[in-house]
A and B are shown apart, each in its own frame.
Chain A
Amino acid sequence: MAEPEIRLHQEKRKRGETETMEINMGPQHPSTHGVFRAVVELDGETVVKVVPHLGYLHRGIEKIAENRTYHQVIPLTDRLDYMAGASNNLGYCLTVEKLLGIEVPPRGQYIRVILTELSRISSHLFWAGANAHDLGAMTPFFFMVREREQILFFLEMITGSRLTPSFFRVGGMSMDLPPEFRDECMKFIKNFPPRVDEYETLLTENKIWKSRTQGVGYLSAEDCIKLGISGPMARAAGIDWDLRKNQPYSSYDKFDFKTVVYHGCDAYDRYRVRMMEMRQSNEIIRQALESLPEGDHSVTMKGTLKPPAGEVYMAIEAPRGELGFYIVSDGTAQPFRMKVRAPTFVNLQSLPKMCEGKLFSDMVAALSSVDLVLAEVDR
């Protein structure tokens, strides 16, 4: 609806000539990607107010972590953002390593990068497919899941698990890469860019796709910073910020890749950022595989892990934004307090801002462009 029409409606509503309708979107709704619930007040099809309700998947992971040893927390972390389990593992392990003041051997760091970037591609693929499906395009989803399946196959080959690797350890990796992985993965990354081209032929220049996403879910750079938005959403608003580049960790500074930045501030550019990021991640994996150093994949740790008392915050660039872990240690074998700064929890906060005054259909597009993983939002 055009602006004047909306205003007309608002005036009518004030005079009591029209009524708004409240609908309950979720917790079971096809486009909430989990158990997110929003109470949406609609005036016709225009969204007047959005009140999100969270917590349907709250498992108290932070509380559980306080009663587990440092290594036992690792399997909890990849149940946060299950679309990119390796990223959570990495974030947690780096935080504990920062607390301990140890550094992982180069080979371990490279393997970490490979796993994290693979899961980033897999997460972006699934997002792009689900996003397309939210906007009514079925086919891209199946095309993207096809490549994601290959990545999950790699993850299974390395870690033995498809979604929740729990393969990282404090101080390195659980095991070295299997010998056949290198060739198989090289084959995949050689074939991957043409596949991305294929997805883009379906969507990027499609008129309907553009009309559904351009200008939808608008969030300026200013608002992004105010609302604490990070990751692809912020980069689509022109914020040149990627923790892999700006605060490099796990030897990301050794790889040659670009921070993908677009300036549209809308769902379309969030889509483009993620598509380009997949290509960049592919590049990173190629470089990591080509220059994979020899040596140990892990430092040798003896006895129970008891970090010194202290507190650290460490953030990494997860597929959805800044994934931070804040760990307070009291010198015992269990973290005294662990706080997860979940990127989608913060990004989701922008939903009312993006949707109010827009159409209900746009709300679905905007919600989808956040890239929700409710397990991470609710923890």
Chain B
Amino acid sequence: MPESNMDLVASVILILVKIGVFFALFMLILAYVTLLERRLLGFFQERYGPNRVGWQGLLQPVADGIKMFMKEDVTVSEANKAVYILAPIVFVAAALMTFSVIPFGDVIWPATMEIGGRVYNFTLANANRGVIADVNVAILIVFAISSIGIYGLIMAGWGSNNKYALLGGVRAAAVMISYELAAGLALVGIIMTTGSMSLMDIVKFQGGCWFGVIPKWFCFTQPLAFVIFLIAVFAETGRTPFDFTECENELVAGYQMEYSSMKFALFYLAEYGHMIAASALTVTFFLGGWQGPFVDVPGLNYFLPVIYFCVKTFMLVFFFIWVRATYPRFRYDLLMKLGWKVLLPATLVNILISPFTMKLFGYL
């Protein structure tokens, strides 16, 4: 192998390791977010939540996993088999793929490292940065993938050959169309300010503070966009108050009605995956991503940004759960009305005023 390609190999190996570690950790976190949600809901609702399996219920996700594997995997006889089986896979894949472009840290590996007497360069394809793929059209990728995720729901709704599931799938499609647009347009102000669609650039742009105390996060310079985006991701992830797609009390379980065993578990996990992804995206766009105090201090800069990112993301996950414990469910047509008649015009207004705020904050 030519000497010059060795750096590439090293970088690719590092990227693969990153993906592997990330995937493993993410699945673990996912399982424990389910526990977190149940315990937190218990806390909000003055009850215990699952606290019997292991200390404070810490083994509950394991028990749930085992239970899910043991359940009979029912396939509805009248279902469209291919679509029926593909749906959870698509949904889970979309939840995981979003993370490929989200920066979770700054530099997580030294740029060069001497291994076995040779100095390897790990900067190819940003392999040493805290992002799996630093793409310059990351925002577009994020939206493309989240649309694919909705396909999972529609396929599940259609493929199950169940009327309740179909209604859930149709609702998912309608909500997606209304909210993808609002979410996308809400980010235009950010793209205008940073001049880049790369999430890494956007996070880097949010470094530093005004007057030494107020961080230069986009939630302060683009507050309207922040609110719109937050509402839109609530709608897109199908969380209360916008959980029409499963909507226990009307559609029984919506799109996932006919699923059992691990197929159901996949939907269940992917829903939390989408929630974490949505939180991570909101953090990246509006809450400074991995930015925080002392991120530039040598030695700390390898892990401090990752910690900041995780903490911020979990704060938002907590917020998601908190909202679930607080609000009733909105109505499907009212949500559409809100999306088209309020949020969409508001994003356009936001785009109009963005140049002025940019001038005001000295970005222009």
| A binding-site residues for B, Cβ under 8 Å | 1, 21, 23, 29-31, 42, 45, 132-139, 142-143, 146, 202-203, 206, 208-209, 211-212, 359-362, 364
Contacts and interface: CB of A to CB of B under 8 A. Distances in A.
B330 A139 contact: no
A211 B330 contact: yes
Contacts of A45: 167, 332-333
Contacts of B250: 31, 360-361, 364
B180 interface: no
Given A136-B241, A206-B327, A359-B331, 17 more contacts: A30-B252, A45-B332, A135-B249, A136-B243, A137-B328, A138-B240, A139-B45, A139-B326, A142-B46, A143-B46, A203-B328, A206-B328, A211-B331, A212-B328, A212-B331, A360-B167, A364-B249
A215 to B, nearest CB: 11
A364 B328 CA distance: 13
- Closest 8 A/B residue pairs (Cβ): A136-B329, A137-B328, A142-B45, A31-B249, A135-B328, A23-B163, A134-B249, A136-B328
Contact of A138 (B247, B324, B334): B324
A138 B167 contact: no
Contacts of A31: 249-250
B187 to A, nearest CB: 26
Given A137-B329, A142-B47, A359-B333, A21 B41 contact: no
A31 B163 CA distance: 17
B296 interface: no
Contacts of A134: 249
Contacts of A361: 247, 250, 331-332
**Interface size band for B:** 20 to 34
14 contacts: A30-B252, A42-B167, A138-B324, A139-B45, A143-B46, A146-B46, A202-B326, A206-B328, A208-B241, A208-B330, A211-B330, A211-B334, A359-B331, A360-B250
B325 interface: yes
Interface of B: 41, 44-47, 163-164, 167, 240-241, 243, 247-250, 252, 324-334
Q: What DSSP secondary structure best describes chain A's contact surface?
A: helix
A31 B249 CA distance: 5
Contacts of B331: 211-212, 359, 361-362
B252 to A, nearest CB: 6
B325 to A, nearest CB: 5
A5 to B, nearest CB: 10
B46 A208 contact: no
B164 to A, nearest CB: 7
Contact of A133 (B44, B241, B249): B249
B198 to A, nearest CB: 37
B256 to A, nearest CB: 14
A27 B91 CA distance: 31
Nearest to A210: B328
A132 to B, nearest CB: 6
A203 B163 CA distance: 31
Contacts of B330: 136, 208, 211-212
A232 B45 CA distance: 28
Nearest to B251: A360
Contacts of B252: 29-30
* Most interface-central of B164, B249, B324 (chain A CB within 10 A): B249
Nearest to A363: B250
Contacts of A206: 327-328
A135 B326 CA distance: 12
Contacts of B167: 23, 42, 45, 360
Contacts of A359: 331-333
A361 B329 CA distance: 10
B329 A30 contact: no
Contacts of A143: 45-46
A92 to B, nearest CB: 34
B240 A136 contact: yes
Contact of B328 (A1, A21, A142, A209): A209
B325 A138 contact: yes
B45 to A, nearest CB: 4
A202 B241 CA distance: 14
Contact of B164 (A23, A139, A146, A203): A23
A137 B327 contact: yes
A1 B337 CA distance: 10
Nearest to B162: A23
B157 to A, nearest CB: 13
A132 B45 CA distance: 14
A135 B248 CA distance: 10
B241 A138 contact: no
